[in-house]
Chains A and B, each alone.
Chain A
Amino acid sequence: MKKRLTNKLLLSALCIMIGVAPLVAFINTAESGKHMLKNEFGSNSILLSLSLEGSTAAFEDFQKLSEEIPEISAIIPISTSITALNSYKSDSTVTLKAVNHSYWKYAGLNIIKGSFITQGHLDHNLSVVVIDELTADELFGTTDVLGHKLETTVNGISFEPTIIGVSKRMDITEKQSNQGQGFAYIPITMLDNNLTDYNMQQVVLSIRDHQIEEAKAKVSHFLSSRDIAVKSEDIKLMNQLEFMDAFEADNKILLWAIAVLWFAAAILGITNIMLVDIERSKKYYGLLSFYGSSDRNIRNEVLSKAYAMALLCSTMSIVVGLMISFIVCSILNIPIYISVISITLGILIPIVVCLLSAIYPSYRASNIDVNSIIWQLE
C-alpha cells in the first residue's frame, strides 16, 4: 500500500515536471535567442548588402568602417563560387559560400545536424564545411555525414574539409532559383588566412538601431572616401525580434495548453494521494482535533505536505528545464540566458498546483468525526 502510494506520488510529481520543465526550457531558450539577436543585431537592425565584384575593397576596410560606425554589429563577408565537391562515393556541383560565423544568423539557416561554422573554426583556420541535405544525399546517399571528408578546389587551391553540419533541404523554389544545385559553406579564412589580401565579393553589414537613410549615407560616404566601387547595394530592415516574438507566442500557447493538461492530471493525482493518506491517517488527524488543534491548524498540517511536495517539484522542474535549455542552446550555439520569469513560473506553478490539490483533502482532514475515530465507534 505504502509502495503504491509512493509510486502514485512520484507519478504526480512527474506530471507537474512534464508540465513545468518544458515551459522553463522554452522560455529560457527563447529568451536566450532573443538576447543573442539583440546583442548581435540590436532591436531594430538594418542589413546592408553590398556587391563588391571588381572593386579593391578588403576586409580591413570594413573593419575600419565599423570603428567609425560603432553600431555595425557584424561584418559578413561572402565569397560565392560554383564548385565541385567530391566524396569517396560521388561528386556534386554546389554553390559554395565562403562566410564567417555570423552568416547563419543573418541567413536564417536551419542546421539540422551538427553545427554551423563558429568563431573557433575561423580563429584556428580549420578546414571544415557545412552542406545542405540535397548535397549530402548526392554525395553520400544519406544525411548522416558528419565527420566525413570531402575534396574540393576553390580559387585554384585544393582543400579536404571535414563536414561539421548539415543544413535543411531547400524548398522547390529555392532549388529552381539555384539551378538545382545544393549549397555548401566554408570558413572564409580557408580562402585567406587573415583576410588581408582577399578581395571582397560581397559583404553584408548589420547595423543596429539606425534609420535606413542615415546608415546608407554614412556607409556611402565612407566607401566613396576610400574609392571603393559598389556594384549594387541592397538595404533592408530586419527585425528578427519580431519574428522571434511571433514564434514564441505561437508555441507558448501550445505549450501552455499541454502544460494545463498535465497540471490537471497532477491535481487529480495529488488530491487522490492526499485523500488516501488522510484515510490512512484518520487517527492522527482525529487525535490532533481531540487535543485541541483548531480546524485551521489541521488544514495547515495537510497544506504543509503540499508545500513540501511543491518545493520538490519546483526544484526538479527548474533543474530539468534548465538542463533542456542548456542542451538546446549548446546545439544551436546560442549563449544561455536564464530568464527570471521562467524561474518564477517554475516555483509558482508547482506551488499553485500542489495547493489546489490539497484544498479539498485539507478540509476532509479538519472535518474528521473525532468521536468515531477516538472512541472507535464505527
Chain B
Amino acid sequence: MIKQDRFILIWMEDLSIKNNIINNDEYTVRHLNLRIDAGEFVCISGLFGIDKISFINTLSCLNRPDGGKYIYNYNDTTTVEKSKLDAVRSEIGFIFKNLNIIDDLTVYQNIEIPTRTSSAAGKSKEIVKAAERLGVSDLLDTKVKRLADIEKHKVSLARALVVNPSLIIADEPADALRQEDAETILNELKEINKLGTAIVCFSQNAQVIEKAQRHIEFEKGCIKSDNAVKNCCIEEGVV
C-alpha cells in the first residue's frame, strides 16, 4: 500500500515565473524542476521581496506560471479554469509574514475568513477545533487587537488550519517572534506536519531550517541546493 505522505503534491517542470507584480519581463524563477510530496516539511530560502511573492503566488495557485508546467495535487494550473484554481487555493493554508489578521474582527471572525463564503456544513466546528488545537479557544470572542504577538501568530496558524489543508505555505512564520515564541509556533507546525500536512516555509532563519526535513536554497531564480536537513529526525527518506 502506498503511504499518503508519498503522494506527489507539487510537481514543477521547466517552470518559469515572471515578476508579475511590477509587470516587467524579468524572470523570478527560470526552468525550475521541483517535486514536493504530501507530508513533507520544506524550507525554501534565497528568494526575497517581489521574487518570493511571485513564487508564492504561483505556488498557491493565485497566478498561473509563465512557462513550463505546474501541477498541484493533480491539477494542472496552466490549463485548469479559474474557478477550479480558486477551489484548489481554498484548500491551502497560509501563514503570512505580516500575519494579515484584521484587528477589528474577533478571533473567531479572523479564523472564519477562509471558509466565510463556503457553503460546507460544520464550519463553526472546524473553527472551534482549530482554535482549540492552538489553545486560543478561550479568546474566540476577543478582538484581535487585544491579543499578544504570540496569540496573534496562533490565530494566524489556526486560520491556516481551518480549511484542513494538505499544504500550508508559511512566509517567515517565526521571524517577528522572540526565540521561545518562535519555537512554540515551529513546534506546532511540526506537529501539524506529523499529521500529514505538507509545510512549505519561506525563511532564511536557521531555527526554521532546523525544523524542516528538507532545505531548498535558491540563487538567481534557480535551485542552488536541495538537501535533507541533517539534524532533522527523518523517519523515512524524503529527497
Contact = CB atoms under 8 A, between A and B. Distances in A.
Contact of A283 (B21, B86, B102, B163): B102
A290 B102 contact: no
Contacts of B53: 371, 375, 377
B105 to A, nearest CB: 8
Contacts of A90: none
Contacts, number: 53
A376 B83 CA distance: 25
A69 interface: no
Contacts of A298: 117
Given A283-B100, A287-B100, A376-B98, A294 B83 contact: yes
A194 B96 CA distance: 91
A294 B92 CA distance: 15
A370 B21 CA distance: 11
A374 interface: yes
Interface string A274-293: 00000000011001101111
Interface string A303-332: 000000000000000000000000000000
A294 B82 CA distance: 9
Given A374-B96, A376-B98, A377-B21, A294 B113 contact: no
Given A371-B57, A375-B53, A377-B21, A290 B94 contact: yes
Interface residues of A, number: 19
Contacts of A92: none
Nearest to A297: B117
B89 interface: yes
The B interface is mostly helix, strand or loop, or mixed, namely loop
A72 B142 CA distance: 73
A339 interface: no
Contacts of A290: 60, 62, 89, 94
The A contact surface, by secondary structure, is: helix
A300 interface: yes
B116 A288 contact: yes
Interface size bracket, B side: 20 to 34
Given A297-B117, A298-B117, A371-B57, A291 B90 contact: yes
Interface in B53-94: 53, 57, 60, 62, 83, 86-92, 94
A142 B92 CA distance: 82
Nearest to B113: A287
Interface string A242-283: 000000000000000000000000000000000000000001
Contacts of B91: 292
Given A290-B94, A293-B116, A371-B53, A284 B21 contact: no
B117 A300 contact: yes
A216 B74 CA distance: 92
Given A291-B163, A292-B91, A293-B86, 8 more contacts: A284-B113, A287-B100, A292-B89, A293-B90, A293-B117, A294-B117, A375-B21, A375-B53
25 contacts: A283-B100, A287-B114, A288-B116, A288-B117, A290-B60, A290-B62, A290-B89, A290-B94, A291-B89, A291-B90, A292-B88, A292-B89, A292-B90, A292-B91, A292-B92, A293-B86, A294-B86, A294-B117, A300-B117, A301-B117, A370-B62, A371-B21, A371-B53, A371-B57, A375-B53
